[in-house]
């Protein structure tokens, strides 16, 4: 599976997808990896709790800005990874042609959904970070082969 570009999706594009984007980008330097949200907080930086949990894990979310998912954006990527099945439905609604290349980030973990930690405790962010990291590692294995 020779995929060159990946778009990671969550709801607001300030917590989960920026973390996954940076994790994938770090391990897949030869691929284009970006993120967006189906209900994005456009131009907002990553959430403070997300920044905190990421930097604890030596990952920088510097310079991140929330971006809204559109069908035009969807067309630019070969693989779209979402956190929850509801986002899969949103992608299908916004960009029906992207449905065939859209999968759950937690696909290789038994189609696990990754819950939204927004406005929740640091512990919630910690456990979501671990889930995202595990899911990304599995995708990296598949993509690097």
Structural domain count, the chain: 1
- Do 18 and 64 meet the contact criterion of CB atoms below 8 Å apart? yes
Count Cβ atoms below 10 Å from residue 107 Cβ, excluding itself.
Answer: 15
| pLDDT for the residue numbered 2 | 87
**Predicted local distance difference test score (pLDDT) of residue 1:** 56
Say which of 15, 16, 25, 136 is annotated catalytic.
Answer: 16
Q: Which structural domain, as residue segments, surrounds residue 107?
A: 5-144
Whether 136 sits among the annotated catalytic residues: the reply is: no
Which helix (H) or strand (E) segment is 108 a member of?
none
What is the block-wise mean pLDDT of the chain (145 residues), using blocks of 10 residues? 92 97 97 97 96 97 97 97 97 96 97 95 96 97 88
Angle between helices 48-56 and 122-144 (to 10 degrees): 60
Active-site residue, selected from the candidate residues 15, 48, 75, 116: 116
User: Looking at residue 77, which CATH number applies to its domain?
Assistant: 3.40.50.2300
Is 116 an annotated catalytic residue? yes
Give dist(CA 14, CA 41) in Å, integer.
7
Q: Which two tokens stand for residue 109?
A: 């973990």
Is 16 tagged catalytic?
yes
């Amino acid at each position: 599976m020779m995929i060159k570009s990946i778009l990671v999706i969550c709801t607001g594009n300030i917590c989960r997808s920026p973390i996954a984007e940076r994790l994938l980008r770090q391990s897949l330097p030869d691929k284009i990896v970006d993120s967006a949200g189906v209900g994005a907080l456009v131009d907002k930086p990553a959430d403070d709790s997300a920044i905190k949990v990421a930097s604890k894990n030596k990952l920088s979310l510097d310079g991140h800005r929330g971006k809204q998912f559109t069908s035009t954006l969807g067309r630019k990527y070969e693989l779209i990874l979402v956190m929850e099945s509801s986002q899969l439905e949103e992608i299908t609604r916004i960009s029906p042609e992207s449905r065939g290349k859209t999968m759950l980030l937690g696909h290789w973990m038994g189609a696990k959904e990754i819950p939204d930690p927004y406005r929740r405790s640091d512990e919630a962010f910690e456990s979501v970070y671990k889930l995202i990291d595990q899911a990304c590692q599995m995708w990296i294995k598949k993509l690097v082969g």
